Amino acid sequence: MRIIRHIQNIPDELKSGAVAVGNFDGIHRGHQALINHCRTLAETVRGPTLALTFEPHPRRVFQADAPPFRLTPFRSKVRLLSDLGVDGLVSLRFDLAVSQQSPEAFIQDILVQALGARHVVVGYDFVFGHRRAGNADLLGEFGSRHGFEVTVLDPVTHDDDVCSSTIIRVDLETGRCRRAAELLGHWWEIEGRVQGGDRRGRQLGFPTANLHLGPSALRPALGVYAIRFGLEEAGGTRWYPGVANLGRRPTFDGKGIVLESHLFDFSDDIYGRHGRVAFVEHLRPEKKFDGIDAIKAQIALDGEQARHILTKADNAQDRFEM
């Protein structure tokens, strides 16, 4: 999948296709339906499948002081869209100047002139342009003038719940990561470079791989989780079962939120490598212990519970893999 950051740089092979437009934060089941439909339409018009989005997320521009909320950092978004068969990701910079662009200018400058779109696919709640004045109806009206068709997809539901980034954020913030995964269609992840710490986990007999959350990444419920830890190996990702603590480590007067993952039956040195942590189930909130023996005993119990949960999930082939 090619990544395009400027509309002046669109190669001819990525023009005259089908374009899915949206924020795509989370790449949940609704987004997947949008992309899959877009890919089908691209085959019909014999053109490429494009995803058009903006970075940073507009909410970050308009609410700069809001708590971190991103479900999917850019790297994760790229991987997920590529897995869905997108040929090109057009990721344009969003700032206050862009926010002043009229809906008509967005259509004319980007969809028509830059991309030569033949079909545009959007969600039922799609709005765009200055003061969110543009909607699917306006898009369809201009499409009839400029020679592209518009498809508006209805909301996608799962067990009567709408697959929505907003709902998924609430699920994660309240520790319901399995329900979030059901709406996402894949496990929710945090990823980054494995960093060195104070090696306290190793001293306790439970060495950990530490990841620091990015400044814009959502903060899910703090506490202990059953996880799968992914490492890039031989061109793919190999997953290891484990247990993780996401929090401030109150027993040791920790400052700042750190994700500490203990991988079962694993002893390799992975400092500096890129890791992905898939959250499978929230086991308990973070708490402060009276001493080292108490925390070691609790970690052992957490590990047993996580092993049981992950084994049961494996046996049920319950991986939410796309």
DSSP state string for 93-118: E--HHHHT--HHHIIIIIIIIIT--S
Q: How far is CA 235 from CA 54, 228, 238, in A?
A: 28, 18, 10
For helices 165-173 and 177-184, give the axis angle rounded to 10 degrees.
160
**Nearest to residue 169, comparing CAs of 59, 64, 93, 79?**
59
Q: What is the per-residue pLDDT for 62?
A: 87
Residue ranges of domains in the chain:
2-158, 179-315
Where helices occur in 19-164 by DSSP H, the ranges are 29-45, 58-62, 74-83, 96-99, 103-105, 136-146
- pLDDT tens digits, the chain, 322 residues: what are they? 999 999 988 999 999 999 999 999 999 999 999 999 999 999 999 999 999 999 988 888 888 888 889 999 999 999 999 999 999 999 999 999 899 999 999 999 999 999 999 999 999 999 999 999 999 999 999 999 999 999 999 999 998 889 999 999 999 999 999 999 999 999 999 999 998 766 555 555 578 899 988 788 899 999 999 999 999 888 889 999 999 999 886 555 566 788 999 999 998 989 899 999 999 999 999 888 777 888 889 999 999 999 999 998 776 556 565 3
Q: What is the per-residue pLDDT for 204?
A: 58
CATH of domain 2-158: 3.40.50.620
Strand ranges in 217-273 using DSSP code E only, listed in sequence order: 223-233, 236-247, 258-263
Pairwise CA distance, residues 174 & 168, whole Å: 10
- Tell me whether domains 2-158 and 179-315 share a fold: no
Pairwise CA distance, residues 303 & 287, whole Å: 16
Q: What is the per-residue pLDDT for 198?
A: 61
Residue type, 110: I
CATH architecture of 179-315: Beta Barrel (2.40)
8 Å CB contact between 122 and 36: no
Q: What is the per-residue pLDDT for 135?
A: 93
Pairwise CA distance, residues 218 & 149, whole Å: 36
Pairwise CA distance, residues 247 & 219, whole Å: 10
Pairwise CA distance, residues 27 & 83, whole Å: 11
Q: What is the per-residue pLDDT for 322?
A: 38
